[in-house]
Every structure is written in C-alpha cells, then in structure tokens.
Structure 1
Amino acid sequence: MERRTQQERRETTERALLTATADLVVESGLSSVTLAEVGRRAGYSRGIVTHHFGSKQALVEALVTASQAGFVPGLDDIDPGPDRLLALVEGYLGAVDGIGSLSRAFLVLWAESVASPDLGPVFRERDALFRADIAADVEAGRAAGAVRADVDPAVVAAIVLAELRGLALQYLVAPDSVDTAAAGRALREHWRAVLAP
C-alpha cells in the first residue's frame, strides 16, 4: 500500500471538512454550522477543524471558494470572448442539475448573505469577480468585433449573473419548475442574438 504524503492527507481532511460544512448548510443553513459539529460530521475533532481553518468565518469562506472552482468544466480551454460567455451561460445551468452539496451550499449561503453581515462581504467579492470575468468576455468580444460596440459589459455581467443565480435558486427550491438544460440553451441563444454585431 502506497503511503500518502502529508499534503495529500491535509487535502483529504480539508475536503472532508468542507463537505461536512456544505451538508450542514444545505440541511439547516449557516446557523447549524459549528466547528464541533463539522468535526463530528467529518469524523474528526473540533481541534482539527480549528487547526485547518482557524474559525467558522474562514471555514465558510473556504467553502465558498471551493464550491466555485471548476463549476463549469472546460471554460479555461476557451479564449476570452463571446464563445466563452455563451459556454458559461449554458454550462452553468447544465451543471446545476447535477450539483453536489458544495454548490448547493454556495447557493444557500448566497441567499443568506443578503441578511448576514459576515457573509455579505464574502459574496460581494465573489460576485464582483464573477461579473468582472463576464465583462472581460464581452470586452474581448467587442475588441475583436464579435460583439456590438454599444453593448455595456458591466450591464451584461450584472444581468447574466442575476439570470444564472436566479434560475439556480429556483431549481433548488423546486427542481421540477426549471428545465435547466432548456433554460441554458435558451439563454445561450438569447445572448448570442443580443451580442451579435
């Protein structure tokens, strides 16, 4: 049996702790998350949770970051521009149908961030980064002549973010109410038409 490195053991432990945190958030919201309960759920002590993350706030911030990583596979392989934006729109909604507890927890926390002084800053930052990424695709498309010159990248970014997160939340609340694949295709075609020069 091959021995795992210390880094591999650390990553395994952190992944288990983040999964336990996500499961608690999805089941009962942020108020149910304590370092002791996360440790118990993951099969570790509270001390391990504190050792890896230091505080509940740091643990939740790590969960938010981890849940966004690679949500839409393959985007990094597409050059910035409208094709990447269209792939994001369709891929995001396509991924919602099969999301795991990390991504579900992200959406629950995003909704809770409206009234949480601790979560608000975290999600303002994450949303700003997401909007900046979308706006960069629009800018790249404008520069290449693939997007109309009169399109405002910041406005497109705000609307796309609202559409994606809003549809994802609707799906979490009532999965039968949203055909995410059809919505993704419809949004892709909508934005293709809106952006085309």
Structure 2
Amino acid sequence: MAIEDTARRTQQQRRDTAERALVRAAADLVVESGLPSVTLAEVGRRAGYSRGIVTHHFGSKQALIESLVRASQVGFVPGLGTREPGLDRLLDLLEGYLRAVAGIGSLSRAFLVLWAQSVASTELGPVFRERDTLFRADLAGDVEAGQAAGDVRPDVDPEIVAAIVLAELRGLALQYLVAPDSIDTTAAGAALREHWRGSLVAR
C-alpha cells in the first residue's frame, strides 16, 4: 500500500508540475501577444509538452484560461488568507495589493491584460464576473466585520465601498502595467490606505 500511495503522490506531483508549466506558458503568451496567440499547440510547445497534454489536463482553451485567471489571484497579497475580516485587514489589503503590483510576474500581468479585454469578450466575461464578484464580496465582508466591531462607520454601504476599492486597485494596477514609471505603487498604496482610514473609521 505504501508503494501505491507513493506512486499516486508522484503521479499527482507530475500532474501539478505540468499544469503549472502550461498555465505559466499561457500567461507568457497573453502578456507577449494577447489572447489570440494562445492556442493549445503553442502553449504545449512553449511549456515543453505536446498539444495532447494540454488537452488532457484542461480539455479546452477556455478551461486553460479560466485556470490561469484563478491561479493568478492565489496569494497575491501574502498573509491575508489567515487574517480575520475587519478594517485592519482591508487597510492592509489596500497597501499590500499595490505593493505587490510592483513585483508582479507573468500570471498577474496576464490577469490584468485579460481583465481589460473581458469588457468585449464573451469568452472572458463569465470568469471575470465570477472573480470580481468574489473579490467584492471579500472586500464588503471586511467592511461589514468592521461595522460589527464598531471600527467602521455604520452609515457606509459595504457593497459600494467594495466596488470603488476594486476599481481603484485594478485601475492603478493597469496604469502601472502600461507605464511603470508613472506610479510609485508604494506611495499610492499608503495614500489609499490613509484615504480609506479617514473615510471609514467610526468617530
């Protein structure tokens, strides 16, 4: 049984390694040439695998792109996943998100490129609506937890705050992607933190 368990773990490790390589290859292609350049054959070639392996792991280009979008958001701001919801977590997210933007790799760059393209794409629209809905819910949850703790003004609308914060974070990230020298992301994160602290803190 131990040998079988080891074999299964090794097989799963190989599968995980292949999937990470394929997703990263797709991200590189998106950053370099946009979504049209992403074909199963080219992703396989770029990652050092065959087209058949890409199909085996993901089934379709759509599924591959959706995996890329979801993978790019995992752990983007380190440490937040273990934090209790509330005002402090929200403020740390604001600053941490923009600090992370300065060091983003191809996965996160691809996410931003695809997010911008999702406005006019029937392929991308559903997955980005899903991701944005989850992000807004997370942000609103921090505001609601802050209100329950008495740290956040009771008269603010958590969903409105969440929508504005999402727009600010993604908008600043896109600006940085287009022209990195135009934005000091550390200073922008600190300014955003202080702005929302002043706007949300219960007096």
C-alpha distance in 2, partners of 1:73/1:164?
16
In structure 1, the residue corresponding to 2:154 is in which secondary structure? coil
- Does residue 60 (structure 1) correspond to residue 60 (structure 2)? The answer is no
Matched, 1:146 2:161: no
Find out whether 1:28 has 2:33 as its counterpart. yes
Gaps of 5+ in 1: none
Does structure 1 residue 10 correspond to structure 2 residue 15? Answer: yes
Partner AA of 2:148 in structure 1: A
Residue 55 of structure 1 and its aligned partner are, at CA, apart by 0.1
2:196 is matched with which residue: 185, 191, 195? Answer: 191
Matched, 1:101 2:106: yes
Per-residue deviation at 1:32? 0.5
Q: CA deviation at 1:76?
A: 1.7
Could you tell me how far apart the structure 1 residues matched to 2:92 and 2:10 are?
37
TM-score, with structure 2 as normaliser: 0.95
The residue identity in structure 2 corresponding to 1:171 is Y
CA distance in 2, matches of 1:6, 1:97: 36
State the distance in 2 between where 1:61 and 1:51 align: 16
Unpaired segments ≥5 residues, structure 2: 1-6
Say yes or no: does 1:180 pair with 2:191. Answer: no
Count of residues in Structure 1 that have an aligned counterpart in Structure 2 = 196
The percentage of aligned residue pairs carrying the same residue is 80
TM-score under structure 1 length normalisation: 0.98
Aligned with 1:50 (options 46, 51, 55): 55
Partners of 2:32 and 2:196 in 1: CA distance: 35
Q: In the aligned structure 2, how far is the partner of 1:108 from the partner of 1:119?
A: 11
Name the CA distance, whole Å, in 1 between partners of 2:151 and 2:159: 17
For 1:157, which of 155, 162, 166 is the aligned residue? 162
Q: CA deviation at 1:77?
A: 2.6
C-alpha separation in 2, matches of 1:91 and 1:24: 27
SS in 2 for 1:5: helix
| C-alpha deviation, 1:15, in angstroms | 0.6
Q: Secondary structure at the match of 2:77?
A: coil
Q: In the TM superposition, what whole-angstrom CA distance separates every residue of 1:91-144 from its partner, at most 9, and x where no partner exists? A: 000000000000000000000100101101110110000000000000000011
Post-superposition Cα deviations, 1:52-76, rounded to whole Å, max 9, x if no partner, equal 0000000000000000000000102
CA distance in 2, matches of 1:170, 1:72: 19
1:166 maps to what in 2?
Answer: 171
Q: Which runs of 4+ in 1 moved over 6 A?
A: none
- Structure 1 letter corresponding to 2:36: S
Cα RMSD (Å) of the superposition? 1.2
Name the structure 1 match of 2:3: none
Amino acid paired to 1:116: S
Query: Residue 136 of structure 2: which of 112, 131, 138 is its match?
Result: 131
